[in-house]
Amino acid sequence: MDNKRIYDNYAFISYKREDEKWAEWLQRKLEGYKLPTILKKTNPSLPRHLRPIFRDKTDLGGGILSDELEKQLQNSEFLIVICSPHASRSEWVNKEIQVFIDEGRLGNIIPFIVEGLPHAGSAVEECFPQALKNIPKDKEGYSVNSIKLAN
């Protein structure tokens, strides 16, 4: 019997409003992507498409995560974090990351760096929210797998 959990969303995109264009772009690209047939043949458990991707379109104020957002987070297999100096200072982005970490799903967090540097040492250049910066480094010196866009 397969105990793999079934999620409603393939991924949840966590981002700061200043990075909304990146979040929109990424959601559109991921939901429109079809996995190559050869991948599906060799790995039948993979989905044909990477969707649905949840992206919250509201601007939350301070406080706790709304019940709806928490539900969407829990029902998403992956958390994609749009990383930038804006995101590094966001209470909400940090809380969304912490939910995944607290649920033991650290391996399902995908940082997507659009601006700045991880562990920069400068608030102006830092792109990782505190929850990502707190992750211990592996033997190669990396704390998480991340994707950096070429400028």
Per the CB < 8 A criterion, the answer to whether 135 and 144 are in contact is yes
In a domain, 119, yes or no: yes
Q: Which of 12, 112, 109 is nearest to 54 (CA)?
A: 12
| Continuous segment of H or E residues that includes residue 113 | strand 109-113
Amino acid code (one letter) for 75: N
Residue 145: what pLDDT?
A: 57
Domain contains 1: no
Domain assignment of residue 107, yes or no: yes
Residue 94 in domain: yes
CATH number at residue 105: 3.40.50
Structurally, the chain folds into a number of domains equal to 1
Residue 32 lies in a domain: yes
pLDDT tens column, 47-94: 888 899 999 885 555 555 688 888 999 999 999 999 999 999 999 999
The pTM of this model reads 0.84
Residue 33 has pLDDT above 70, yes or no: yes
Instruction: Choose among 88, 82, 51: nearest CA to 148.
Output: 82
- Establish if 4 belongs to a structural domain: no
Residue 2: inside a domain: no
Residue 112 placed within a domain: yes
- Domain residues for 28? 9-148
